[in-house]
Amino acid sequence: MEELGHWINGKRVAGTSGRFADVYNPATGEVQAKVALASKAELDSAIADAAEAQKAWGATNPQRRARVMMKLVSLLNRDMDKLAEALSREHGKTFPDAKGDVQRGLEVIEFCIGAPQMLKGEFTDSAGPGIDMYSMRQPLGVVAGITPFNFPAMIPLWKMGPALSSGNAMILKPSERDPSVPLMLAELCQEAGLPDGVLQVVNGDKEAVDGILDSEVIQAVGFVGSTPIAQYIYERAAASGKRAQCFGGAKNHMIIMPDADLDQAADALVGAGYGAAGERCMAISVAVPVGEETADRLIEKLVPRIEKLKVGPYTAGDDVDYGPVVTAAAKANIERLVQSGVDQGAELVVDGRGFSLQGYEDGFFVGPHLFDRVTPDMDIYKTEIFGPVLSTVRAGSYEEAIGLALSHEYGNGTAIFTRDGDTARDFANRINIGMVGINVPIPVPLAYHTFGGWKKSGFGDLNQHGPDGFRFYTRTKTITSRWPSGIKEGGEFNFKAMD
């Protein structure tokens, strides 16, 4: 069985802790590899080497660092299918979803080719008599990224791109559930010209995470995962004086107004609710139709679409809408929450319980579920399910609908479907959520904007990628400069003034 280690100083190395985690094929339920879990000593060694490598990399001019990003874009395009296949094999995503995972990460690397522009400071001539003032953006030093299982290419690239092109060294601690793609990305970075040691990929569990948070060398940490862990990392990082950027869970609402195009809305809900088996922090998990007639018509359109969804392994190609969830534990948690919805009185309109796929009976497949008449006190409404489960909460008015999203503890993404510009504008202005879609179901910003949620979906002042990415991974230094002048009025040079 394959054993996956770490990427240290430009090469793959075996783990030395003696501890391993199983890496599954979610479609079959079989263990296909083991990944080493780093000890604190292994982590500390990788951090020390990264700190040494960062000195020369941080002194490299931004244009040369940007050329590494330019080469990396070419390599990611070249190996797109190879990366997607490895991603699907360990995560379970369909092949098109896996390619999309890589593509959205690649787009951030494209943005980072513009690092010289993003890292420019400001200059004021003659801020005072003979005084000039200017600022510069400098790298933090060694930073860390702790990334989740659900986007094993995209989110590591979101972290690596701005951090590395800003002149930092990075310790990347990816999810131990699907570690192959981050290791492959490190190899591509080396091929692109990144010096050895500037990127270290350390696989591990809580021991590695705590080691990162307690390290006196690491200056900043970026995290994506569940809200309890995001809050834990944010608080512990802050206690040790680190800058932190931590993104957590979500419960994304999509409001459907009576004037909406319901066919468009139904198609959007199916794609946004069930794509990638619902294992996306930007998945729509709550549909909020306004008015009983709107709700009845929406359910009528959703049911046949959901019943036609094809669930299967990524090897089935384009004939599959979504694949398995990542682990048996994830499947069990989804099934538990679905049963809680039934027990608490929600109407299970499409019942995916007991789903089984011939030839893949041991895989972690979950059938699609659609609930109607869900109420805010139910667990399926309050909790992020992270599975192919869509809950419908009927609202009597627009104010009631927007109130649901306003009052929920999560604030990652939201959407409204309407033909009315005034309603859309009011929604966009009033909603206390970080990313908003208007007739767009998953409003993930492009790489030159920033990605981040509000409330318990995000901890920290700066978002991921876009300009905020460079702000997070650099600090500003401001210089006030005055040089003695030997010039007298009228242009005569005063030599004594220079003595």
Q: Tell which residue, 159, 170, 123, 168, has the closest CA to residue 141.
A: 168
Q: Tell which residue, 65, 90, 69, 114, has the closest CA to residue 4.
A: 90
Q: Could you say which of 112, 189, 246, 281 is catalytic?
A: 281
Q: Assess whether 281 carries a catalytic annotation.
A: yes
Distance between CA atoms of 99 and 321, rounded to whole angstroms?
A: 14
Q: Look-up: residue for tokens 């649901």?
A: 404
Distance between CA atoms of 326 and 178, rounded to whole angstroms?
A: 9
Read off the tokens for 25.
């094929």
End-to-end, the C-alpha distance of the chain in Å comes to 76
DSSP 370-410: EEES--TTSHHHHS---SSEEEE--BSSHHHHHHHHHHSSE
Spatial contact of 99 and 80, defined as CB atoms under 8 Å apart: yes
- Cα separations in angstroms, 103 against 61, 151, 450: 27, 11, 17
∠ CA 264-269-271, nearest 5°, is: 95
Phi, psi values for residue 300, rounded to 5° = -60, -35
Distance between CA atoms of 284 and 292, rounded to whole angstroms?
A: 20
Q: Tell which residue, 404, 412, 408, has the closest CA to residue 443.
A: 412
Catalytic residue positions, numbered = 281
